[in-house]
Structure 1
């Protein structure tokens, strides 16, 4: 059992989160099962974990990741990852709305699928890929874990471990910050009933996810070799790591048999019609900049890359990353000078347009930034990134009423974006509208799954703020709604504990 716990600590969130599937994998498969027979798709997973229970676990974990700033809250990068997932989902048995994609603030090369269709892609994985098909291959693999109900099926294999226990393992691992002792304690308490049970389901699940993912890649006009080529590259690089394997090889073990089968399946699609997005190389550099902790070193990295160009020709992706890095250290005029020609040459590029508008805004040229964003709104009317950048410019540009009117007319954005709610709270505060400010800040917390601070804030507002009768009734109704939502998302006991703990700070 000690060996099991050590292995679990390695695979469970050693620096972030690999995911429940990986954790349950190592907990329940210490031995040497050799049978790679794939389980049938029609297993009665609902008998052990319903879709609603899976979604509950996923929402709990995402809330914890947000609370600990482990998700990169960049709308543009998330929008791009969602576009890949949506394209793949069109060729699966599930609707695109069944999945949610999150960029994870980690340089580790990994990705994970949570119950309920919540998929995390580490920024380090994005930057390590060389083609969009490689990135899509990993995303498609994780989506297959979701569509095939692998987590519920793994719980079935582990004597019906309940969803509450599964959630406790994940949340405790996150709360432990990756500390092996905290993870081991959580696992010991949660899976003590497993004993020395051995199962080969996990390896079978990996094969199944490969098979379905490759088929989906080809159907979505990505290169079906993308998945196999990326895992093969990681396997080759592992020889350089020694005992420090890339995280993705710990959570997705790659064997010669698995690689051979993946390559063979890719050959079933001999003449793929490959379509890759022009946004991919730009978003890869965006991920590199967003996860960087050493901006000075990052600027020097880009300067060296630009100097090393063999043909002396500009590289759009490298220049984009360089401009983003310059903006982050306050050199916005230089960033704008780099970006402006690319916007002129690529008028349909949302990434270049938003980067240049931001550089202008940060440099104080808000008039030019506003003109660009108003044009972008017409060009990309459905883009949350464009909408939020425009609203942010209005808020920062001392036009709060325009920002408020713009945000309130977009119900879809308000229902999905915590940032939009927070901007409305900021605007209400500027206008000294306390009732509205408290309401919107509570909605901000709600969209992040942070019910405890929402409840405490509303209680404080009702007890101390000078509110009119309408605002009091509105906030009381929202408080009741938040309490019910908290009980539903966790349990009444856990909700009370979280509210009490939050009130101490």
Structure 2
């Protein structure tokens, strides 16, 4: 390392508070470092190793998220974790929705064609779908039983494709990678197939339980944009969350639950209300939504 580089690094470290002097200047020999403490060289070397390990990690993530080989790997891992449900009729319906939504997304985001989505059904009877890295989509067979409306199903699929287009899972893994894992990568104790498997495992986790409400809100907004560029009914965006309210109740949190076990998703009522507002604005205020408390539901009015 040349003298100029050393001076620049010293200035940076001093600004960060790593150097400390007593008085205006140190005119005496500084005390020797205590045994067991890292010296400056160790700090610099460790920082470089962590940075290099993070770069390595991101290369693996990008390969799994954006290449055909990575997609195939993620598909096999997702199917292995969630299971595969064989129903030709539901697969045909899912394929039609995926095709329609891909065409809709293509009107606003051409990158959807760079790596076409792959998809499968899971045996779970719970209402849910997920999109992982590599544009790998899974939909629980229970989602089709939850709603008979293909428009509402398209909203669910559009939401998950929003996660895919925004690369939310890949970004979540990068954000959540801890220094212990990076240290293993930096010391060459972990790499190749082992590292790929760890990333894929985290991808499955973040596909099914997203770690950021901001990601969920962005996916909701993208679903609206995609639906309004399709032949599906935009009213289905609010309708699917009204259905969730009626069948599952609201999932709003408060008190100790909000602190100890915070939900990663916005609550059902808030999502419905946001979509109702979008619908009213989109219609030029011709469509209005009013609660009918005696009936225990909401009514949509068109021009009164």
Q: TM-score range by the shorter chain?
A: 0.5 to 0.7
Q: 2:282 aligned with 1:264, yes or no?
A: no
Q: 2:186 aligned with 1:153, yes or no?
A: no
Task: Work out the CA distance in 1 between the residues paired with 2:203 and 2:79.
Answer: 14
Say if 1:75 and 1:86 are closer, same or farther in 2 by CA, change over 3 A.
Answer: same
Match of 2:201? 168
SS at match of 1:113: strand
Task: Work out the CA distance in 1 between the residues paired with 2:175 and 2:203.
Answer: 18
| Structure 1 contact 115–151 (Cα < 8 Å) conserved | yes
| Structure 1 contact 214–227 (Cα < 8 Å) conserved | yes
Match of 1:121? 139
How far did 1:225 drift? Answer: 2.2
SS at match of 2:134: coil
Task: Work out the CA distance in 2 between the residues paired with 1:230 and 1:265.
Answer: 14
Deviation readout 1:277-302 (Å, 9 max, x if unpaired):
xxxxxxxxxxxxxxxxxxxxxxxxxx
SS at match of 2:139: strand
Gaps of 5+ in 2: 1-56, 183-194, 252-262, 285-304
Q: Please, what is the CA RMSD of the aligned residues? A: 3.7
Q: How many residues align?
A: 195
| Structure 2 contact 162–223 (Cα < 8 Å) conserved | yes
Q: 2:193 aligned with 1:218, yes or no?
A: no
Task: Work out the CA distance in 1 between the residues paired with 2:160 and 2:81.
Answer: 23
Q: 2:157 aligned with 1:139, yes or no?
A: yes
Task: Work out the CA distance in 2 between the residues paired with 1:172 and 1:153.
Answer: 13
Equivalence map 1:316-395=2 (5 Å): none
| Structure 1 contact 85–96 (Cα < 8 Å) conserved | no
Deviation readout 1:169-191 (Å, 9 max, x if unpaired):
46799xxxxxxxxxxxxxxxxxx
Task: Work out the CA distance in 2 between the residues paired with 1:86 and 1:265.
Answer: 25
Task: Work out the CA distance in 2 between the residues paired with 1:96 and 1:232.
Answer: 35
Match of 2:125? 107
Say if 1:134 and 1:255 are closer, same or farther in 2 by CA, change over 3 A.
Answer: closer
| Structure 1 contact 218–269 (Cα < 8 Å) conserved | no
Task: Work out the CA distance in 2 between the residues paired with 1:118 and 1:80.
Answer: 17
**Larger C-alpha radius of gyration, 1 or 2?**
2
Task: Work out the CA distance in 2 between the residues paired with 1:71 and 1:127.
Answer: 17
Q: 2:51 aligned with 1:52, yes or no?
A: no
Q: 2:228 aligned with 1:228, yes or no?
A: no
Gaps of 5+ in 1: 1-45, 174-199, 242-249, 272-505
Task: Work out the CA distance in 1 between the residues paired with 2:90 and 2:104.
Answer: 23
Q: 2:163 aligned with 1:130, yes or no?
A: no
How far did 1:133 drift? Answer: 0.7
The structure that is helix-richer by fraction is 1
Which fold has the larger relative contact order, with Cα–Cα distance below 8 Å and residues 6 or more apart in sequence? 2
Equivalence map 1:239-318=2 (5 Å): 239=249, 252-254=265-267, 256-270=269-283
SS at match of 1:101: strand
How far did 1:219 drift? Answer: 1.0
The structure that is strand-richer by fraction is 2
| Structure 1 contact 88–220 (Cα < 8 Å) conserved | yes
